[in-house]
Copies of this chain bind each other. A is one copy, B any other.
Amino acid sequence: MKKLINNVDDVVIEALHGMEQAHPDLLKVHYNPNFLTRADAPVKDKVAVISGGGSGHEPLHGGFVGKGMLDAACPGEIFTSPTPDQMEEATKAVSGGKGVLHIVKNYSGDVMNFEMAADIVQGEGIEVASVVIDDDVAVKDSLYTEGRRGVGSTVFAEKLCGAAAEKGMTLEEVTNIAKFVKENGRSMGMALTSCIVPAAGNPTFDLGAEEIEIGIGIHGEPGRERMKMKTATELVEMMGEAVVSDIPFKSGDELIVMVNGMGGTPLIELYLLYNQVAAFAKAKGLKIVRNLVGNYITSLEMQGFSLTMMRVNKEIVELWDAPVFTPALKWG
């Protein structure tokens, strides 16, 4: 195993030190338990928005901490849920008196630990709401998940809820934005290669020289099907069809779309895929009004991509366009 690290046990903590030193203008890093908060937290009389989960999916979640997006993120060890004390302390640290929203990706450990943390802080008088994102249409149940996995829509939920909170919305209103994302966003991923979890030292799974896995999970959980390599056009049609037919999206719908790299995919391929996605959407009568193309929710160095599509309305697009100042998503 070749990795740009020191010891397998120190990867997460040393990367947090790096985040702390790279972005003091945007965020603070807290240790024991570990969490990141925006630099000016807590913000008084604003709903606070928190997420978290296993590390190895960067920039998710720490790279989305900052004004206009997350108030805090709780990083677990690689591909491992954070512990309840991380969410507990993060919630207390960013609570501004107007309530706290937990955005949770649907993995059993994450859900359980966020719930435990919410119970504790609610007992101490902080109002907490939770929304579980479960947008991955690939499989019904998965290795670490009861029900669908939470993937790319989480990025949308973090951006939109952060903007809603910044705008002064109540906890109920911000929570409704997260529920909107949950109801209207759908995703699917695929892999060309596995990644290697540092502590494991070996690929999570094996794929043949011309084999791919459709519907892969972000921890390498099995997807729908292994098959022979396909062209970009075929992949986008297959995955796009699965995503679009789920709710389903209808001709005339307006969408925010993300073509996301799994961590080891060249950006030139992601733009090539976006070209196919744009053609696919057009053929379906779907109108892409905003897009992200790049690495937003990754699986270490896995090669592959995921496609996320979300139906939107005018209010959602306005929240999308609102200023955001985080390491990974920034516009003013």
Q: Which A residues fall within an 8 A CB radius of B? A: 2-6, 11-12, 14-19, 21-22, 55-56, 58-59, 63, 78, 192-193, 195, 209-210, 212, 229, 231-233, 235, 263-276, 278, 291, 293, 295, 298, 300-301, 303-305, 323, 327, 330-332
Instruction: Give the Cβ gap from A111 to chain B, nearest Cβ, in Å.
Output: 23
A interface SS class = mixed
Is there contact, CB below 8 Å, between B58 and A5? no
Some 19 contacts from A to B, beta carbons below 8 A apart, are: A3-B269, A4-B272, A4-B304, A5-B231, A6-B272, A11-B268, A11-B272, A14-B271, A14-B272, A18-B270, A18-B278, A21-B278, A22-B274, A22-B291, A22-B293, A263-B266, A264-B301, A267-B298, A293-B327
Docked Cα-Cα span, A36 to B11, in Å, equals 39
Is there contact, CB below 8 Å, between A193 and B2? yes
CB-CB nearest in chain B for A2? B192
Is there contact, CB below 8 Å, between A274 and B5? no
Of the residues B5, B229, B233, B271, contact of A269 by C-beta under 8 Å = B5
Is there contact, CB below 8 Å, between A300 and B2? no
Docked Cα-Cα span, A18 to B232, in Å, equals 12
Instruction: Give the Cβ gap from A110 to chain B, nearest Cβ, in Å.
Output: 18
Task: Give chain B residues whose Cβ lies under 8 Å from the Cβ of A14.
Answer: 232, 271-272, 275-276
Is there contact, CB below 8 Å, between A210 and B12? no
Is there contact, CB below 8 Å, between A22 and B271? yes
CB-CB nearest in chain B for A269? B4
Is there contact, CB below 8 Å, between B58 and A266? yes
Is there contact, CB below 8 Å, between B331 and A232? no
Of the residues B193, B209, B272, B330, contact of A331 by C-beta under 8 Å = B330
Is there contact, CB below 8 Å, between B4 and A275? no
Is there contact, CB below 8 Å, between B271 and A58? yes
Task: Give chain B residues whose Cβ lies under 8 Å from the Cβ of A323.
Answer: 332
Instruction: Give the Cβ gap from A66 to chain B, nearest Cβ, in Å.
Output: 12
Task: Give chain B residues whose Cβ lies under 8 Å from the Cβ of A2.
Answer: 192-193, 209-210, 212, 229, 303
Task: Give chain B residues whose Cβ lies under 8 Å from the Cβ of A298.
Answer: 266-267
Is there contact, CB below 8 Å, between A268 and B58? yes
Docked Cα-Cα span, A263 to B59, in Å, equals 15
Task: Give chain B residues whose Cβ lies under 8 Å from the Cβ of A272.
Answer: 4-6, 11, 14-15, 18
Is there contact, CB below 8 Å, between B273 and A263? no
